Structure 1
Amino acid sequence: MSNGGGEAKHVIAEGLVTVNGEVETRKRKKLIPGDLVAFNGESVQIVAAE
């Protein structure tokens, strides 16, 4: 989704990332299993580690 941490911080600050359909601007947002993160036409659902 992002090429690195610096780019990720920038796109989050610009409001280009959504979590569960809502714009997310917090860089340290805690994600939980079931959350859906979307950016640049791609989305990823967070799953719990086994």
Structure 2
Amino acid sequence: MPAWLAPNEVLLSGTVRDLVAGSGLEFVDRRRHQLKGVPGEWQVYEAV
């Protein structure tokens, strides 16, 4: 598990965040990160 990821956190991409717009979920911007096995950097959000 990456050091920036805490147990029991729900993190998701901007695409998923956009797909659930209007659901009542709230999100916190967790910045851009390099994800293992995925090329490039990805914007990551935490569902709260």
TM category, shorter: under 0.3
RCO (CA 8 Å, sep 6+): is it higher in 1 or 2? Answer: 2
Select the structure that is richer in strand: 2
Query: Structure 2 length normalisation: TM-score?
Result: 0.24
Select the structure that is richer in helix: 1
Query: Structure 1 length normalisation: TM-score?
Result: 0.23
